[in-house]
Structure 1
């Protein structure tokens, strides 16, 4: 029974959040945050937080600086990373994300820019996409101008803009997909091109089941409920091109603006068949880049982030590092 002072619930995504009819958002889950470090003892990776715009900030990761003691002209691949969390939870500064990207920066020997974008439902889509693009353009802007006090020195000194990568997990993989599409129609500063993209356990959905997806599961799935909270006004609901890249109204996958693409899936992930279908659809679209797929058996959604010490997680880290290292 609702008290006189308590607004009725309009929608909820338990155990994460609840939205009241007056628009008030109750966040029931808040991630544990990790501070940046200039003395990461386990990996040797340095990190720091920066502000990109009034809406967007990020955490930067730089591999062990002792490697540059004798060669300060050495350049590193750049990875612009978008975290997961259904567009409505998690953070670039969470302990899970920090631990994961320390590993990727170390193993791939890459400069990582982990983007903290605005979350729904306070900021429904396309806010996250706009923030993601702002961050990508900010990174690219460092490729052409002389360094000034407002610029990020790590990007100027160590970033190789001929090896720019984007990537993400779950909702972050969805964002990376849309950034690759946008980069095919809008130029990045300095003419920078995206060399590669990785999509891990991408969050795509739709009204028609694919593969082994249950026929009667569509609108009762947490995936559906999440989508309706983060993009409540989406035309065509779960068949909006933001969430369903296979509908006729979605941009052609042949236009993806990168030269390499890897899709990572896990056999026990309910999004597994979507990821496989995405791989096949890109191949059949006529896209001319290098297309790869990496599947891990016996694991579920985001296993490598939640259980990073397992052998399967270590194998996945190794594969992602190899992808970023490959020229």
Structure 2
């Protein structure tokens, strides 16, 4: 389905929204193509493709909600990229790894649609693809990347991952969790709903630094992908995000850390234009450094 769309609050360069369904689980993909730079509807060159996975703690939100739509809308315009906003099944009806499976479906559909879908064929540079996610979406982007290591996705080529304040956990409280106890019970409840039945927060889906999680990091290192991990010091998960970034580096991954010393709201970059610029600057730098 394709339709013209005008954002209600953001003067975005958005031409159309296309919603697709993949063969499994009716995973949907909403495509955003910026209009800025178009010449009679024709681009001088194809644009990097950002596959975006939304936030929500694995149990809320979706690609149709206005905050997610506006964020992808703004991302397409500000970064001059094609954004594929991918849906995924949520808990408690669908526990992990359902979200990861859907995330893989989205990437595989994009790879297989290169000749059949006019938007992908005309606008997206499938040789320059980034997997990007916020909060639980950052966790999804990471685990989708793990599942796609060494898989032949030709003509699609993943260049890197951007884990924006990724949602990770663990049984033992880290120091930042002990400093910021507000919301801890809610986060624990989210993990209880979304992890496989009987799994603790030290399952690798929650805590990739334990068990065979480090082996997954070595797989990513073998792909020579670049990874950005972001986090803010005023939030409870900053130490977990730092630990993941540190171990990724130890396992041979090219990691850029974008950690700040403060923060005053969950995923505020996505709701505030000025704060979004900080995030987008990091994404832009990775896009340029990953360009083929």
TM-score between the two structures when normalised by the length of structure 2: 0.87
Aligned equivalents of 2:180 and 2:266: distance in 1? Answer: 21
Q: In the alignment, is residue 214 of structure 1 matched against residue 183 of structure 2?
A: no
Aligned length, in residue pairs: 281
Label 1:315 to 1:282 Cα distance change in 2 as closer, same or farther (>3 A).
same
1:230 match: 194
Mapping of residues 267-306 of structure 1, within 5 Å: 267-287=233-253, 290-299=254-263, 300-306=265-271
Offset of residue 272 of structure 1: 1.1
* Contact 2:71-2:270 at 8 Å conserved across structures: yes
Q: Deviations over 1:291-314 (max 9, x none)?
A: 2111234323311123x13x3333
2:126 match: 161
Offset of residue 133 of structure 1: 0.5
User: Which SS does the other structure have where 1:273 is aligned?
Assistant: helix
> Mind listing any 5+ residue stretches in structure 2 that lack a counterpart?
none
Mapping of residues 124-163 of structure 1, within 5 Å: 124-143=95-114, 147=115, 151-163=116-128
TM-score between the two structures when normalised by the length of structure 1: 0.78
2:138 match: 173
Label 1:168 to 1:258 Cα distance change in 2 as closer, same or farther (>3 A).
farther
Label 1:46 to 1:191 Cα distance change in 2 as closer, same or farther (>3 A).
closer
Q: Deviations over 1:8-45 (max 9, x none)?
A: xxxxxxxxxxxxxxxxxxxxxxxxxxx97444571222
Match of 2:167 among 203, 207, 221: 203
Label 1:215 to 1:61 Cα distance change in 2 as closer, same or farther (>3 A).
closer
Mapping of residues 1-327 of structure 1, within 5 Å: 37-40=4-7, 42-53=11-22, 54-64=25-35, 66-69=37-40, 72=43, 74-143=45-114, 147=115, 151-188=116-153, 190=154, 192-214=156-178, 221-235=185-199, 237-250=200-213, 251-256=215-220, 257=223, 259-287=225-253, 290-299=254-263, 300-306=265-271, 308-309=272-273, 311-326=274-289, 327=291
User: Which SS does the other structure have where 1:214 is aligned?
Assistant: helix
Label 1:44 to 1:192 Cα distance change in 2 as closer, same or farther (>3 A).
closer
Q: Deviations over 1:105-133 (max 9, x none)?
A: 11111011001111111122211111110
Label 1:245 to 1:230 Cα distance change in 2 as closer, same or farther (>3 A).
same
* Contact 1:73-1:158 at 8 Å conserved across structures: no
Offset of residue 49 of structure 1: 3.4
* Contact 1:207-1:239 at 8 Å conserved across structures: yes
* Contact 2:37-2:43 at 8 Å conserved across structures: no
Aligned equivalents of 2:232 and 2:3: distance in 1? Answer: 30
More helix by share: 2
> Mind listing any 5+ residue stretches in structure 1 that lack a counterpart?
1-34
